[in-house]
Each structure stands twice: as structure tokens, then as C-alpha cells.
């Protein structure tokens, strides 16, 4: 019956919690602690308080998720302690414990949103249910908080992406006023050879010191940082931030700096400068951070074509368009034809069908953007497919002894069955069933050679429930039955 289930069985799927016990009766307090620790392995009792004053001190120090609070304690009583704690940390949940069944106490407790009121001596069932209710409430609040953070993250992602590209839309400026109403100026950093998480961790201390905000965004192999300040930024200020950021990230990292501006319509220009400065620093290899040095970073047409080709081969659509836009007027018709041929050959060499667009039909710059976008998309799909097929391969090897299907394998990499089937055959030169059979037969052959299990056991171990069918498949694959194969081994 349900009454006989342990507390732990009640709380399957619950989240970890930190609990503080405030109870003036030592025996009651220790008994409660023992019950919680024995039945709720994921719950930690972080402290015990013998009176209201101690409860207030420990709540500030330990920041528990939940407090079991006795109402009548010497000095400051439970309700007074709750009022004080609630003011300092309203996130803490309270479960009241009292020997008195008083409506007045319950009514007073409702002021602080307290929903659980346990009468002493509390039955274990009541304690379990109270804990489960609070767990469920905390879990719901955490999910809501995660959703809010994700929504804000998506808005920040959209904001920084729009700030990187000119001309700025009116909606971007409205978003800035909504998200960052106190911002007076900003600029961009571009970090090469850095990890996004390491960059974000390094920027946290700067936010506290400078009263500024940073938004990060990964663009292929670089990290873009948008620096937003509530004051007017000076070049010396952001140079110091860039220097400290680079020092935290290490000598292998380059940090390009864009000019600070109080006009948000100029933020795309700051990004362009930061990007070019970063590429300049990486090519020069003498400094790890700094602004763009004008006139020093001139590239030949050959260099530009090679860079565009390299970026397309990585499937970096955004950077491909940005780079071509920067140099489009400097490239001759011969340069562009050379670029077209290189990209086409690069796709063909990987058995990728190039876009059905002839060179003669690419006339305007917009035509080039379309062509480059298509080439980059095909390259990205190619590398994604390679990655997906490696994941699918691992899935098949891990689950080959199970009754897996093409649909199972496709679902494991979030692809449709039809698309997965086509890509799989292209990658491995055989269809899914042929590949699965090959894996199973190789495992069966190895198990027979070990001479530890019976043929019937091996049949089940490699995924065949019918030993006769397993025997037929094995014979078709190796030109002899499992029994014949086994006997041949034993004769050696």
C-alpha cells in the first residue's frame, strides 16, 4: 500500500534541495534530520537552529531552499523570524511546525505565502507530502526562470546579430531602448582562438567593476563581444578591458577592438573594425590585442580569393558574405571567375553537386551573394552529414543487438528517415540493413571464435531472436553455417 512506501519512493524525479531546521527541541530536531537524510538522499540538511535569532543568522549565511520552522521558540518566535528572513531572502520556502492547532497562526502564516502547516508530532506521511509539494513548487519556479533566461538570451542573440550589420533597422534601436535603456555608448571586440564560455567567464568581473554589460555571440570560429556602457567610452578604457581580457584568455588568443561610439547606428562599423583588427593581429603575430592599424593590412586579390574559398569550405555563410561585400569592387572579372571555378571544384571533389548556376549568369553582386550562400550551405550540410553519420554509426554499434530500425537510427540524429537513408548510403556505400547485418555478423564471428557461448546464445547476443534465421543470414554472409564455421575452428 502507498502508506508503506518510503519517502524516497515518493519523491522519484524530485530535485535536490537544501533544508534548514529551526526547532528548539533537540530531540525533535535530530529526529527530523535523521528522517530526511535517510529517506531523501538528494536533500541536504545544511544547518540547525535552536531559536528564532539563530534561524535568521543561519538563513542569511546558508541560503537554504526550504526551512522547517517551529512557531513557538524562545526569544524571537517562528513567525517573527519568517518575516525577517522573508524580507532578506523572499525565495526561501517555509514549512511551519507547531504543537498548537491555531487558526490565528495559520492565518498569520498565509501573509508569507506559507502553504504547509504540520502539527506535532508530525506524521511521516505529512512530512513527505510537505517536502514533495515544496519540491514541485521550486522545480516549477526554476523552469520558469530557465525559460525567462532562454528568452532573454534569444533576444540578446538577435540584438547583437543585428548590431553587427549595417544599416541598422528601427526595430534594433527600439530593442536597445527596451533591453538596455541606460546604455550611453558601446563598441565591439572580436576574439580569435578563444572559447565562448571562457570569454564569458572572463567578462563577468569587468561587468561588476565597470557597471557595463557584455553580450557574446559565436560566429563560426570567432567570438564576437558587444561592450555596452552606461557612460561614454574612451579608447583608453576599452583598450584596458581588451588587454585584461586577452591576459585572462592566454597568449594564443587575439582580441581585435572596434572604435567606441555613442551612436548606435555606427555599431556595425565598430564590428567591422574589430573583425579586421583581429585578423590583422593574427596575421602579424606580434601583438595579442589592439585597434585596426590603417593602411597596413592590405591584401592581394589572390589572398582575398583564398580567404573566401577557405571560409566557404568551412560552411561559414555569414562571414563569406561579409568578406565578399568588403572586397567585391576590388575583384576583377578574372578574379571572380577564378573564385567560381575554385568553389565548384571544391564541391565536386567532395562528391557534392554544385549549384546549378553558370558563371555567365552571375552578374550583379546580389547574384554572387546567392551563389556564395548556396556553396556555403552545401558545405555546411556536407560536414553536418559527416558528423551525423558518425553519431549514427556509434548508435548502430551500441544498439546492434537490439531490434533497431532505420527510423530508430534516423531519430537518434534528428533526421527524417528518407533523408537519413539517402545520406547513409552515400556515406557508407550500403543501406542501413546491409550495414546493421555486417556489424551483427562481425560480432557473431568474433563470439564464435571465442568458443564461450552456444550458437543459440550468440544468436540472441547479436540481435536475432530466431536462431534458424540467424543461421541463414550467417551462411549467406560467410558462405557456411555458424555450426560449420564453429567446427572448422575446433579442428584447427
Side-chain-facing half-sphere of 239: CA atoms under 13 Å: 7
Residue 151 forms part of a structural domain: no
pLDDT of the chain, 492 residues: tens digit per residue: 333 344 444 444 457 899 999 999 999 899 999 999 888 888 999 999 999 999 999 999 999 999 999 888 888 988 889 989 988 898 899 988 877 655 566 566 666 667 677 877 667 888 888 888 888 888 888 888 877 777 777 788 888 888 887 778 888 888 888 888 989 999 999 999 888 888 888 888 787 777 789 999 887 678 999 999 999 999 998 999 999 999 999 988 999 999 999 988 899 889 988 988 998 898 888 899 999 887 544 556 667 888 888 888 877 777 788 788 888 888 888 889 989 999 999 889 888 889 999 999 998 888 998 999 899 888 887 777 777 788 888 899 889 999 899 998 888 877 778 878 888 887 788 999 999 999 999 999 999 988 888 999 999 999 998 999 999 999 999 999 999 988 887 766
Q: Does 30 lie in the same domain as 121?
A: yes
Q: Cα separation of 229 and 238, whole Å?
A: 10
Residue 106 forms part of a structural domain: yes
Choose among 127, 229, 244: nearest CA to 188.
229
Q: Does 219 lie in the same domain as 98?
A: no
Q: Look up residue 104 and give its three cell numbers.
A: 490565528
Q: How far is CA 389 from the centre of its chain?
A: 21
Residue 153 forms part of a structural domain: no
Q: Cα separation of 11 and 125, whole Å?
A: 12
Look at residue 284 in the predicted model and tell me its pLDDT: 84
Q: Look up residue 183 and give its three cell numbers.
A: 546604455
Q: Does 350 lie in the same domain as 419?
A: no
Q: Does 256 lie in the same domain as 348?
A: no
Q: Cα separation of 398 and 232, whole Å?
A: 58
- Tell which of 270, 291, 312 closes a domain: 291
Q: Does 379 lie in the same domain as 407?
A: no
Count structural domains, the chain.
Answer: 4
- Tell which of 241, 257, 291 closes a domain: 291
Residue 148 forms part of a structural domain: no
Q: Does 321 lie in the same domain as 214?
A: no
Look at residue 152 in the predicted model and tell me its pLDDT: 75
- Tell which of 141, 156, 173 closes a domain: 141
Q: Which residues pair with 117 in a beta bridge?
A: 96
Q: Does 208 lie in the same domain as 285?
A: yes
Choose among 232, 137, 252: nearest CA to 192.
252
Structural domain of 328:
301-384
Residue 196 forms part of a structural domain: yes
Residue 425's CATH number:
1.10.10.60
Residue 235 forms part of a structural domain: yes
Query: Around Cβ 294, how many Cβ atoms within 10 Å?
Result: 8
Q: Cα separation of 147 and 429, whole Å?
A: 43
Query: Going by C-beta distance under 8 Å and a sequence separation of 6 or more, which residues neighbour residue 308?
Result: 320, 323, 324, 339, 372
Q: Does 313 lie in the same domain as 282?
A: no
Q: Does 129 lie in the same domain as 11?
A: yes
Residue 152 forms part of a structural domain: no
Residue 296 forms part of a structural domain: no
pTM: 0.48
Residue 226's CATH number:
3.30.70.2730
Query: Around Cβ 10, how many Cβ atoms within 10 Å?
Result: 16
Q: Does 427 lie in the same domain as 476?
A: yes
Q: Does 125 lie in the same domain as 21?
A: yes
Residue 48's CATH number:
3.40.50.2300
Q: Does 396 lie in the same domain as 380?
A: no
Q: Which residue has the cell 511546525?
A: 97
Look at residue 105 in the predicted model and tell me its pLDDT: 62
The beta strands (E) that lie in 135-263 are given as 185-192, 212-219, 222-229, 254-257
Amino acid at each position: 500500500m502507498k502508506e508503506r512506501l518510503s519517502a524516497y519512493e515518493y519523491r522519484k524525479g524530485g530535485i535536490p534541495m537544501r533544508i534548514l531546521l529551526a526547532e528548539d527541541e533537540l530531540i525533535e530536531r535530530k529526529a527530523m534530520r535523521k528522517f530526511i537524510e535517510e529517506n531523501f538522499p538528494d536533500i541536504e540538511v545544511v544547518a540547525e537552529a535552536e531559536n528564532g535569532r539563530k534561524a535568521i543568522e543561519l538563513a542569511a549565511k546558508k541560503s537554504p531552499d526550504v526551512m522547517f520552522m517551529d512557531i513557538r521558540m524562545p526569544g524571537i518566535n517562528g513567525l517573527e523570524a519568517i518575516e525577517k528572513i522573508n524580507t532578506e531572502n523572499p525565495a526561501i520556502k517555509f514549512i511551519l511546525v507547531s504543537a498548537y492547532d491555531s487558526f490565528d497562526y495559520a492565518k498569520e502564516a498565509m501573509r508569507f505565502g506559507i502553504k504547509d502547516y504540520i502539527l506535532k508530532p508530525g506524521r511521516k506521511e505529512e512530512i513527505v507530502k510537505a517536502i514533495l509539494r515544496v519540491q514541485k513548487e521550486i522545480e516549477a519556479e526554476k523552469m520558469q526562470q530557465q525559460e525567462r533566461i532562454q528568452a532573454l538570451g534569444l533576444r540578446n542573440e538577435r540584438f547583437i546579430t543585428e548590431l553587427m550589420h549595417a544599416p541598422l533597422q528601427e526595430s534594433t534601436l527600439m530593442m536597445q531602448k527596451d533591453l538596455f535603456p541606460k546604455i550611453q555608448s558601446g563598441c565591439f571586440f572580436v576574439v580569435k582562438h578563444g572559447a565562448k564560455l571562457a570569454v564569458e567567464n572572463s567578462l563577468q568581473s569587468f561587468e561588476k567593476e565597470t557597471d557595463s554589460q557584455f553580450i557574446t555571440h559565436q560566429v563560426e570560429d570567432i567570438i564576437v563581444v558587444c561592450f555596452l556602457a552606461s557612460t561614454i567610452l574612451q579608447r583608453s578604457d576599452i583598450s584596458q578591458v581588451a588587454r585584461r581580457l586577452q591576459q585572462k584568455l592566454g597568449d594564443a588568443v587575439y582580441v581585435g577592438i572596434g572604435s567606441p561610439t555613442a551612436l548606435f547606428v555606427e555599431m556595425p562599423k565598430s564590428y567591422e573594425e574589430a573583425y579586421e583588427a583581429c585578423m590583422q593581429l593574427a596575421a602579424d603575430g606580434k601583438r595579442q590585442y589592439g585597434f585596426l592599424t590603417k593602411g597596413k593590412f592590405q591584401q592581394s586579390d589572390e589572398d582575398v580569393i583564398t580567404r573566401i574559398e577557405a571560409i566557404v569550405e568551412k560552411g561559414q555563410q555569414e562571414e563569406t558574405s561579409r568578406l565578399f561585400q568588403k572586397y567585391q569592387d576590388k575583384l576583377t572579372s578574372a578574379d571572380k571567375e577564378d573564385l567560381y571555378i575554385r568553389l565548384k571544384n571544391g564541391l565536386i571533389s567532395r562528391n557534392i553537386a554544385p549549384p546549378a548556376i553558370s558563371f555567365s549568369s552571375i552578374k550583379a553582386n546580389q547574384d554572387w551573394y546567392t551563389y556564395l550562400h548556396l556553396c556555403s550551405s552545401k558545405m555546411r550540410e556536407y560536414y553536418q552529414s559527416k558528423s551525423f553519420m558518425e553519431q549514427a554509426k556509434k548508435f548502430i554499434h551500441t544498439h546492434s543487438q537490439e531490434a533497431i530500425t532505420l527510423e530508430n537510427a534516423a531519430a537518434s540524429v534528428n533526421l527524417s528517415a528518407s533523408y537519413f537513408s539517402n545520406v547513409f548510403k552515400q556515406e557508407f556505400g550500403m543501406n542501413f540493413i546491409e550495414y546493421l547485418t555486417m556489424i551483427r555478423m562481425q560480432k557473431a564471428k568474433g563470439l564464435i571464435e571465442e568458443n564461450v557461448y552456444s550458437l543459440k546464445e550468440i544468436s540472441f547476443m547479436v540481435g536475432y531472436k530466431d536462431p534458424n534465421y540467424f543461421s541463414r543470414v550467417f551462411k549467406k554472409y560467410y558462405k557456411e553455417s555458424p555450426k560449420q564455421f564453429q567446427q572448422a575452428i575446433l579442428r584447427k
